[in-house]
Chain A
Amino acid sequence: KAGVTQTPRYLIKTRGQQVTLSCSPISGHRSVSWYQQTPGQGLQFLFEYFSETQRNKGNFPGRFSGRQFSNSRSEMNVSTLELGDSALYLCASSSGLRGTQYFGPGTRLLVL
């Protein structure tokens, strides 16, 4: 079975721009979660989607948003980028709520 895939793997943006990251879960998995990893804050939960509905949201500003499609693929969007948004963004999928999460390789975002 193919693992979680994320595109793009690397991204460079400038302040004020917006960015969209994509995640394809493991086949059959219906839950997708997103995490941000930075040296200062560590791994922080952004949000979780299950069956196209946001089930849980972390403590991030409204500039961070996401969605899930009927095929369980998910996207997250960050608008009006700030320097502090530079991070590794990790997507994880699980077969259901409270299932074990399996992570993708991440997207490294650099905001200049």
Chain B
Amino acid sequence: AQKVTQAQTEISVVEKEDVTLDCVYETRDTTYYLFWYKQPPSGELVFLIRRNSFDEQNEISGRYSWNFQKSTSSFNFTITASQVVDSAVYFCALSEAQETSGSRLTFGEGTQLTVNP
């Protein structure tokens, strides 16, 4: 069965600091998809990125970057020069590609990021 672990429950940083959110996953599938979502206090989950298991290229989008390493089953998320607006709960999620899985997402426990001014 699939599993996603986010060991960091809460992280607190000062504005402009860099911060990395860790995500470790388990799956028996050779083809799978990894995601990061952001949940601000309003509650809506905002999609940030999707990664396919066969594409280990790291990605950068503005202040956000993602490091995908199949060898360690990790998909870490780094925010550079953090801002107060980055304060939210961040979820890592996994979806398997097998027919019976559909689009079903398995989520980690989430990491509460607080960026202080």
Q: How far in angstroms is the closest Cβ of chain A from B47?
A: 6
Chain B residues with CB under 8 Å of A106's CB are 43-44
Q: Once the chains bind, are B95 and A98 in contact (CB under 8 Å)?
A: yes
> Total number of A-B contacts with CB less than 8 angstroms?
64
Q: Once the chains bind, are A31 and B103 in contact (CB under 8 Å)?
A: yes
Task: Indicate with 1 or 0, residue by residue over B80-104, a CB within 8 angstroms of chain A CB atoms.
Answer: 0000000000010001010011111
What is the total number of residues of chain B having a CB less than 8 Å from a CB of chain A?
24
Chain A residues with CB under 8 Å of B42's CB are 105
What's the dominant secondary structure at chain A's contact region?
strand
Q: Which of B37, B97, B102 contacts A56 (CB 8 A)?
A: B102
Task: Indicate with 1 or 0, residue by residue over A32-52, a CB within 8 angstroms of chain B CB atoms.
Answer: 010100000011010010100
Q: Once the chains bind, are B102 and A100 in contact (CB under 8 Å)?
A: no
Chain A residues with CB under 8 Å of B91's CB are 43
- B109 an interface residue at 8 Å Cβ cutoff? yes
Q: How far in angstroms is the closest Cβ of chain B from A96?
A: 8
Q: How far in angstroms is the closest Cβ of chain B from A60?
A: 13
- B64 an interface residue at 8 Å Cβ cutoff? no
Size class of A's contact patch?
20 to 34
Chain B residues with CB under 8 Å of A35's CB are 105
Q: How far in angstroms is the closest Cβ of chain A from B110?
A: 7
Q: Once the chains bind, are A103 and B102 in contact (CB under 8 Å)?
A: no
